Structure 1
Amino acid sequence: MIYIGNHVSSSKGYEAMGKQEVALGGDTFAFFTRNPRGGSAKEIKDEDVQRLLTLMKDHSFGPLVAHAPYTMNVCAAKEDIRKFSVEMLKDDIRRMEYLPGAFYNFHPGSHVGQGSKAGIELIAAALNECISSTQSVTILLETMAGKGSEVGRSFEELKEIMDRVSCKEKLGVCFDTCHVWDGGYDIVNHLDEVLSEFDRLIGLDKLCAVHLNDSMNDCGAHKDRHQKLGLGKIGEEALRRVVTHPALQGRPFILETPNEDDGYAREIAMVRKWQEQ
């Protein structure tokens, strides 16, 4: 069994996000902690969060997967951007304490010409500055497609970051099916081998969440263009194997496909059907 949901807008508040997901048939969801293209964050109202937590309990929700804004780049070449990003990360970790047991997912960053080694060291330094052993949220590094100067394009790069972080128990990975496919991991023909490689390098116990997306690109294209489930180069059968793989059960699966609400409802129902077969 997995938990399935989609990325919902946080503009209407916490309880509203939960109600929207229930209406779509989901039992988890993802949301941006703040403006995804900026740095501003709305005030959190404790009573709103409490209503969401009650709704989640009533509907047997799995862990939520918050997402950092795209503007956050803790390994940026410019020092002012790095400092701004680190402060944003610290603030988001504090804000996530309203949702005990949730995950906080972020793109590791882009080294912007400094080289991946420098990027890895800066990302690890930022995590060591921000993560504490007392926090309840687990920080997830997302697997990346490898476009441009992205860090995290391979399991090896993610491992290098994680090896440098002191509070390893507060760190995990979000496995994005589109990104790993675009990054060169053939999950269509060799899913077992890909997961075995992840387990060897990082450990499947660190694979905490999945972004479930098809891809518009061929394997290894390094382009990161999501597609609706079954309509891309990964395809329905391969994605069904991901959803039902024994090693991935119990995780939250988040849809980031190009859909409106009716499309997400259909995909959630599709995934439920895969689980029943």
Structure 2
Amino acid sequence: MEKQTVIIEYYVNTQYWLDAYHAKYGVLDHEFAQKLNDSTPDNMRHFTMSFNNEKLVIFNKDKNEINTFYYQDLYCINKTENGYLFFINNQDFYFVSQQSFKSDELEIIHDFLCDYLGKNLENQIAEINNYKMDINRIYYCFYYLLFKKSIMTPIYILVMFLPCYFLIKDSSKALFFVYFTILYSIAIYFSIKPGIKCSAKNQFKTTNDFFLYSRVIFYDDRFIMINKNQIGISIIKYSQLYKIRKVKKGYLFLINSSMSYLFYNEDFTPKQRQVLEDNLMQYNNFYSK
């Protein structure tokens, strides 16, 4: 019995690269896609793809060259919102847009691939598709980093200067000194939060949009931040963080003593939050209080 086959043709251009990396990273980076297109050789443009229930055959029409890939031998096949990614290894891939298929062919392709989808895909604990470093998030980062340190300032002032009271012989001057010290300490205390708020606003205003919007994916041993405006990826292992703190608002991931990322509790489902916390508890740099 002859095997059922689906055949499509596609042309590699800027739109192809734009769609391909949007499928892989969820980012529409026109500049990056244009650079990839400019660097693509002319003999790597026109392709025909043939699918059946066991393999993918790619025919390069420019070079008259055929490559055959059995689904079971591919590193990974991933279905995305706009198509399929066929990974030869963990870096190199072919992308096929859903728009390349007719409606009835989409069902056939899914039947061909359903047994192979997700192979070698790492376990994702959670994903935040629209992480925004807005003023409130920056404020709470500063708050959790600086508030406890700042609140100690008026206490230090009281501890350091109140003993001077006993050295002043004039009781009225001594009492005035005490009142002044207490009022000064109170003024510092009540200026901490407005000061942090002002710093947060200033940092937000002076931060390029490139750094404000991300897609964040949490894995067992690391989290990945993918910039939403341009192709840019930061991979950070939990073990490499200075500290991971569980705070009232969520989880504070400290890169160092003055730089951090805050992930709110509501960024996760209850189940994701529990799995993430259980996973983080195995690290020595995790603090629950």
Fold shared, TM-score > 0.5 on shorter chain: no
| Structure ranking higher on relative contact order (CA contacts 8 Å, 6+ apart) | 1
Greater fraction strand: 2
